[in-house]
Chains A and B, each alone.
Chain A
Amino acid sequence: MELLLDSLFNGVAIGSVLLVAALGLAIVFGLMGVINLAHGELMMLGAYTTYVTQLIFKLPILKPFYNSYIIVSIFLAFIVSGVVGILLEKTIIRKLYGSPLETLLATWGVSLILQQFVRSVPLAYGTGLVISLLIGLFLPTTFPSKIKESINFKYFKFSSWLFAALTGVLTGNVISSSVSKLSRASARNVDVTAPSWMRGQVEIIGTAFPKTRLMIIVITLISVIAITLFLNQSAWGMRIRAVTQNRQMSDCLGISTEKVDIITFGIGSGLAGVAGVAVSLLGSVGPNVGGNYIVGCFMVVVLGGVGNLLGTVLASFGIGIMTDLIGAGRLLSIWPDMPLALSNIINFFATTSMARVMIFALIVIFLQFKPTGLFPQKGRMVEN
């Protein structure tokens, strides 16, 4: 019983990282039919945001609040990845609407650039760049409508970008001069240390659970609840669901699909950032950190089906629990006297990488029976 509980917990912990990472991917894929290969790199940005936040909170002014840095970094990571995602949508993905395969290649290009960017640009200036992007993209939207509608709006826009660039350079310089670790570019992996209240373990029903894992489960839970509420209760959520179901019809009924695309992509990317915070708690953070998770996320999306969050949730926990059961060879300890042939097979797959082999094979077999995932979208179109 204890073993089963242990295994279940581990599986849920693996699954919850997958879930929070795949959530954004699933929403974007459901809405736009776009597979974002840069999703892993958006996670990486979130993880690096955690690292930068941690170092900044070590400065004398913020030292008293150091323990709360992880909470702050969740929000910051959401914003950073979200802004980069919005920029991505505005510059590249919008042009490729209707050709998902091309989008796939273009986003792969973006992911290469982001990886190399983190390697060769000091994090301090990277932070400055993100801040200027943030100001440049959002300052113009806060102007009163009188200015927005005037002919000179482009000058206002231009000057706001100028202001944004200046602020970015300034913050970059301030950060690089005050935190020496951020002032030089490095391709080496960095480590995020959890605040003291998150170290150690909690005992539940006689089994010890690491607190960081519990924290990740909590983060995931909050993200899922928040996104469900947003999609089901808010006006924009309703528009997103409408566009997901039928883009042309929503467009005809006066929903601005352009805005829906931006918002969805922003939220999807932001969730990748939140996943990045979770990932940074699990191990060291490097330019390639996203690549380790991304294919798992794709599998979740393929398995869960499009346009249904429940499918995503079930698929990620399913994959998580299976990974733990197969990879750690737990099946043997749960069922000790199984036939020799079966136990040999299970032993063969009882490593993390071989567990992946097994799970992908199982997914391909599953897709033979349900080619469109657990909860397919209903429709009568030929092309579905």
Chain B
Amino acid sequence: MSPNKIKFDKKIVLSFWIILIAFIIAAPTLLPVFRLNLLGRYLSLSIVAVGVDLIWGYTGLLSLGQGIFFALGGYCAAMYLQITSSSEFPNNIPEFFALYGVEKLPFFWEPFRSPVFTFFAIWIIPALVAGLIGFLVFRNRIKGVYFSILTQASLLVFFNFFNGQQKLINGTNGLKTDVTQLFGLMVGSEAMQRVFFWITAVLVIAAWFFAKWVVKGRFGNILIGIRDDEPRVRFTGYNPVLFKTIIFSIAGGLAGISGALYTVQSGIVSPQFMTVPFSIEMVIWVAVGGRGTLLGAILGAVFINYAKSLVSEALPASWMFIQGGLFILVVTALPEGVLGWIQGDGPRNLLQRFGLKRKIETYPSLEVNNKEGNNE
């Protein structure tokens, strides 16, 4: 994609992976529990960022409603955990139901007694919802800003629904998971959190490779084609609706996994996951890291959230200013994001400006490749 994509030596790549895996295995002993938990949460957020990168960076669909799928995944996980650890409560149903005088489990809770169903529900339910919303919107060739606004409106629909239904899903209080049991262990316990950290780390890498596989080859080419010139893709005989719906549900499924992992590590899922600012934040992680780079999305999610927690601890009021400034800055000055800038012409332009590198008069691909003997 970019003219001088950095090609690393195989040895460097291998040692990078060895260091990474060593760090993941050793992280629970290196980091204090609090920081480890934060890192685990941010890593789980990076999975939703990969999904955003797939739909925005590759397909050009700016969704402001990824929070829906994120929260749905979280709710699926939390419902299972609540049900399995509700044996000592009245009527064998989760504790909060007693507050609202509900005696019978609402019907849609029933399937969540099964761990197998939950395992699939976490990513299939968000993917199906995303597919449905996507299909209804894409079918009418609604796109661009209209699409963004409609996803935001759907987000509000879901938020209002989950926020208002105390008797079904505990409304605004959300579902707590940290005091529930999973396979006989407390979810909030240290040992369990360590396991969740490892699972998250592995799944982030898996999501990365999966996304790389999705955007590779002809399917990825069509996605990029839709981003750059949708009518032309349609005229060539492809049906953009199908591809857009597929990629939107893939992103929804990734968001669901991410939400479930985030829920078990933060100890609660609540309608706060479906607020408008949170979903827009997901976009900015990708924008800062680099649209269409996948790795950039992961790094962006982890680093921005880390920066957020550091800044909020030190100067609580200034994070909004910094975040707002970040939005403006990245859009006006660094539209390709940090990783895109590094992979693109950024560093060379910078060096040229200081006279450290020869100026290029025509196109980089012509001059750099020919004169430096780097024939690709």
Scoring B residues 264 to 279 as 1 if CB is less than 8 Å from chain A, else 0, what string do you get? 0000000000001000
- Neighbour of A108 across the interface among B150, B231, B280, B332, CB < 8 A: B280
Q: Of the candidates B136, B163, B321, B328, which one forms a contact with A92 in the assembled complex, judged by CB atoms under 8 Å apart?
A: B328
Q: At the interface, yes or no: A165 with Cβ under 8 Å from chain B?
A: no
Is B145 in contact with A291, judged by CB distance below 8 angstroms?
A: no
- Minimum CB–CB distance for A223 against chain B, Å: 23
With A106-B331, A108-B327, A116-B317 as known contacts, state yes or no: A298 contacts B149, CB within 8 Å.
Answer: yes
**In the complex, what distance in Å separates the CA atom of A108 from the CA atom of B145?**
14
Residues 150-193 of chain B, each 1 if its beta carbon lies under 8 Å from chain A, else 0:
10111011001101100000000000000000000000000000
User: In whole Å, how far is A249's beta carbon from the nearest beta carbon of chain B?
Assistant: 21
- On whether the beta carbons of B136 and A368 are closer than 8 Å, the reply is yes
Which applies to chain B's interface (DSSP): helix, strand, loop or mixed?
helix
Residues of chain A within 8 A (CB-CB) of B331 are: 96, 102-103, 105-106, 109
A221 within 8 A of B: no
**What B residues does A356 contact at CB under 8 A?**
156-157, 160
Minimum CB–CB distance from B61 to chain A (whole Å) comes to: 9
Instruction: Please give, as numbers and ranges, the residues of chain A lying within 8 Å of B164 by CB-CB distance.
Output: 351, 353-354
Query: Which residues in window 216-255 of A have CB below 8 A to B?
Result: none
| A residues near B160, Cβ cutoff 8 Å | 353-354, 356-357
Q: Does B326 contact A (CB under 8 A)?
A: yes
- Residues B150 and A105 in contact, CB atoms below 8 Å apart: no
B141 CB contact (under 8 Å) in A112, A115, A354, A371: A371
A113: contacting residue among B136, B145, B161, B325, CB under 8 A: B325
A164 to chain B, nearest CB (A): 23
Q: Mark B310-349, 1 if CB is under 8 A from A, else 0.
A: 0000000100110111111011100100000000000000
Nearest B residue to A185 via CB reads: B317
**Which residues of chain B are near A71, meaning CB under 8 Å?**
none
Q: Binding site of A, secondary structure by majority: helix, strand, loop or mixed? A: helix
Q: Which A residues lie within 8 Å of B141 (CB)? A: 371
In contact, A353 and B145 (Cβ under 8 angstroms): no
B375 at the interface (CB under 8 A from A): no
User: CA A383 – CA B156 in complex, angstroms?
Assistant: 28
A92-120 interface code vs B (CB 8 A; 1 in, 0 out):
10011000111111101111110110011
Other-chain contact of B328, A110, A119, A363 (Cβ < 8 Å): A110
Q: Does A361 contact B (CB under 8 A)?
A: yes
Assess the A360–B157 pair: CB atoms within 8 A: yes
Let me know if A302 is at the binding interface, CB within 8 A: yes
Residues of A within 8 A of B79 (CB): none
* Contact A116 B324, CB 8 Å, known A105-B287, A295-B153, A364-B136: yes
Question: In the complex, A235 Cα to B196 Cα: how many Å?
Answer: 65
Residues of A within 8 Å of B146, CB to CB, are: 302
Residue A367 lies at the interface, judged by CB distance under 8 Å to chain B: yes
| Complex Cα gap A301–B161 (Å) | 23
Set of chain B residues within 8 Å of A104, measured between Cβ atoms: 62, 145, 148
Taking a contact as CB atoms under 8 Å apart, the answer to whether B153 and A298 are in contact is: yes
Are A371 and B149 in contact, with the CB atoms below 8 A? no
Q: Does A47 interact with chain B (Cβ within 8 Å)?
A: no
B284 close to chain A: CB less than 8 A? yes
Distance, CA A34 to CA B331, complexed state (A) = 14
Q: 8 Å CB contacts to A: which residues of B90-147?
A: 136-137, 139-142, 144-146
Contact with B along A21-46 (1 / 0, CB 8 A): 00000000100011100000000000
Please, which residues of chain B bring their CB within 8 A of the CB of A105? 280, 283-284, 287, 327, 330-331
The residue of chain B having its C-beta at the shortest distance from the C-beta of A364 within the complex is B136
A151 interfacial contact with B, CB 8 Å: no
Q: How many A-B residue pairs have CB under 8 A?
A: 116
Enumerate chain B residues within 8 angstroms of A371, measured Cβ to Cβ: 140-142
| Given A109-B324, A302-B150, A357 contacting B157 (CB threshold 8 A) | yes
Question: Interface size for chain B: under 10, 10 to 19, 20 to 34, or 35 or more residues?
Answer: 35 or more
Given contacts A95-B332, A119-B317, A356-B157, contact A101 B144 (CB under 8 A): yes
A61 at the interface (CB under 8 A from B): no
Once the chains bind, are A116 and B321 in contact (CB under 8 Å)? yes
Q: How far apart are B99's CB and chain A's nearest CB, in angstroms?
A: 19
A175 located at the interface, meaning its Cβ lies under 8 Å from any Cβ of chain B in the complex: no
The listed residue with most A CB atoms (<10 A of its CB), out of B153, B164, B287, is B153
A19 at the interface (CB under 8 A from B): no
Contact A353:B163 (CB < 8 A) given known A92-B332, A106-B332, A109-B325: yes
- Residue of chain B at shortest CB distance from A95: B332
- CB of A345 within 8 A of chain B? no
In the complex, A368 Cα to B164 Cα: how many Å? Answer: 27
Q: Contact: B320 with A101, CB < 8 Å? A: no
Which A-chain residue is minimally distant from B329 (CB atoms)?
A: A109
A382: Cβ under 8 A from any B Cβ: yes
Name the interface residues of B260-313: CB closer than 8 Å to any CB of A: 276, 280, 283-284, 287
A354 smallest CB distance to B (angstroms): 6
Residues of B within 8 A of A120 (CB): 317
Of chain B, the residue at the smallest CB distance from A117 is: B321
Contact of B156 among A109, A116, A295 (CB under 8 A): A295
Tell me the bound Cα distance from A104 to B335 in angstroms.
Answer: 13
**A281–chain B nearest beta-carbon distance, Å:** 24
Say yes or no for A263: interface residue by CB 8 A criterion. Answer: no
Nearest CB of A to B149, in Å? 5
**CA of A203 to CA of B137, assembled, Å:** 46
Q: For B324, list chain A residues within 8 Å (CB).
A: 109-113, 116
Alpha-carbon distance between A291 and B277 when the two chains are bound, in angstroms: 10
A106: contacting residue among B137, B148, B161, B328, CB under 8 A: B328
Count chain A CB atoms within 10 A of each CB in B148, B149, B284, B321 and give the residue with the most.
B149
In the bound complex, residues from chain B placing their C-beta under 8 Å from that of A301 are 149
Q: Which of A320-355 contact B (CB under 8 A)?
A: 351, 353-354
Assess the A116–B320 pair: CB atoms within 8 A: yes
Report if A299 contacts B (CB, 8 A).
yes
Query: Which residues of chain B are near A299, meaning CB under 8 Å?
Result: 149, 153
Measured CB to CB, the residues of B under 8 A from A are 60, 62, 136-137, 139-142, 144-146, 148-150, 152-154, 156-157, 160-161, 163-164, 231, 276, 280, 283-284, 287, 317, 320-321, 323-328, 330-332, 335
CB-based closest 8 A-B pairs: A109-B327, A112-B324, A371-B140, A116-B320, A113-B324, A353-B160, A109-B324, A109-B328
Q: List 29 A-B contacts (CB under 8 A).
A: A33-B144, A95-B332, A96-B331, A100-B144, A100-B145, A103-B331, A104-B62, A105-B284, A105-B331, A108-B327, A109-B323, A109-B324, A109-B331, A110-B327, A112-B323, A113-B324, A113-B325, A120-B317, A295-B276, A298-B152, A351-B164, A356-B156, A357-B157, A363-B153, A364-B136, A364-B154, A368-B140, A371-B140, A371-B141
Q: A353-B160, A364-B150 given. 5 additional CB < 8 A pairs?
A: A96-B332, A113-B321, A353-B163, A356-B157, A367-B140
